[in-house]
Amino acid sequence: MQQVIQELVSARVGEVLLDEMLAEHTTWKIGGPADVMVIPDGTRELAETIRILHRHGQSFTTIGRGSNMLVTDKGVRGVVVKLGKDMGHIRFDGGTVTAGGAVSLITLSVKAAKEGLTGLEFAGGIPGTVGGAVYMNAGAHGSDMSRILKEAEIVLETGETVRLRNEELEFRYRHSWLHGRAAIVTEAVLALEHGDRKKIAATSAANKERRILTQPLSAACAGSTFRNPDNHYAAKLIEEAGLKGYRVGGAEVSRQHANFIINTGGATANDVLHLMDHIHSTVYTTFGISLTPEVLVVGER
């Protein structure tokens, strides 16, 4: 590992941090240390980082804003790669929008609305990055990334940079071709349409109001904890199982939205995992339905 660190520093790829606490980089405010965290300065530096890691046979974990992710209390062995601010560009060209992988999906939704572009209203409450949204085909309010993505720029696990079209990413519900691959989305090209600014603003405002009323926006959380099963809503199942407000340590099922687990202060990853297990077993016992986690658990157990 020392050789890898020396090469990363010598290559001037960006920040190279040792024993960085990942709780500082996740929306749940939970997570132990990463042996090494690299924050590349840009796409070229990211590709060089991945090439160095690939040459040494060193695996890595990627994070954006750290939403939709639970880092274990022991942290992550090896290297964590975090997209830097230089991959936060946004360009508008008619109805085509090009956004860096590190761009906040909420910010992009707001900017698109101001441009009078429709198609991203669904994304206004998803607390992640564009790269993460492509990776998991993020969606809400009956739409998702697969409906608006034209193509994505991706750095593969070898360090090679490629561009893949929508159909090549094999999208389905909360899934893409990227799942299970050590590949990083550095840019997405979206196809939006010009629309009525007032209607776009009204839809965005309604979605925002709904989020304020139903989601614990001020609490440390990671968005939806479980995927919606076919023909069901995970939140409804959890609520009807009597689990709103159920708590393990500092982790609690939100009283506003039962599919959100919040960190009430000092929650550990083990608290969250035990609570998720309890939710899963209770819903299965009550309804015979098995919930699938939407959050990604990473790190040493």
106 found inside a domain: yes
92 and 203 co-located in one domain = yes
The pLDDT tens digits for 181-198 are 999 999 999 999 999 988
pLDDT at 202 over 90: no
Rounded distance between C-alpha atoms, residue 48 and residue 37, angstroms: 15
pLDDT at 208 over 90: no
| Whether residue 109 lies in the annotated active site | no
Nearest to 252 by CA among 243, 261, 241, 265: 261
125 and 222 co-located in one domain = no
Domain that holds residue 114: 88-213
Q: What is the CATH number of the domain that holds 272?
A: 3.90.78.10
190 and 224 co-located in one domain = no
Catalytic residue among 174, 176, 187, 252: 174
pLDDT at 125 over 80: no
Give whole-number Cα distances, 114 to 101, 121, 134, 200, 253, in Å.
21, 11, 22, 9, 35
112 and 186 co-located in one domain = yes
Q: Name the pLDDT band for 59 (thresholds 50, 70, 90).
A: very high
pTM flag (> 0.75): yes
149 and 108 co-located in one domain = yes
Tokens of 53: 């890691």
| Whether residue 224 lies in the annotated active site | yes
102 and 55 co-located in one domain = no
pLDDT at 179 over 80: yes
| Whether residue 227 lies in the annotated active site | no
pLDDT of the residue at 212: 81
18 and 100 co-located in one domain = no
61 found inside a domain: yes
Residue-averaged pLDDT of the chain: 94
pLDDT at 83 over 80: yes
161 and 228 co-located in one domain = no
Catalytic residue among 104, 109, 224, 254: 224
258 found inside a domain: yes
Q: What is the CATH number of the domain that holds 24?
A: 3.30.43.10
Q: Into how many domains does the chain fold?
A: 3
pLDDT of the residue at 206: 83
191 found inside a domain: yes
138 found inside a domain: yes
Give whole-number Cα distances, 182 to 50, 62, 86, 193, in Å.
10, 8, 21, 32
Q: Which of 161, 180, 213 is the last residue of a domain?
A: 213
Q: Which of 58, 85, 112 is the last residue of a domain?
A: 85
pLDDT at 263 over 80: yes
Q: Are 129 and 103 in contact (CB under 8 A)?
A: yes
Q: What is the CATH number of the domain that holds 92?
A: 3.30.465.10
21 found inside a domain: yes
pLDDT of the residue at 205: 81
pLDDT of the residue at 153: 98
Nearest to 128 by CA among 228, 190, 221, 22: 221
Q: Are 158 and 50 in contact (CB under 8 A)?
A: yes
pLDDT of the residue at 57: 96
Nearest to 38 by CA among 2, 84, 75: 84
Nearest to 41 by CA among 106, 11, 85: 85
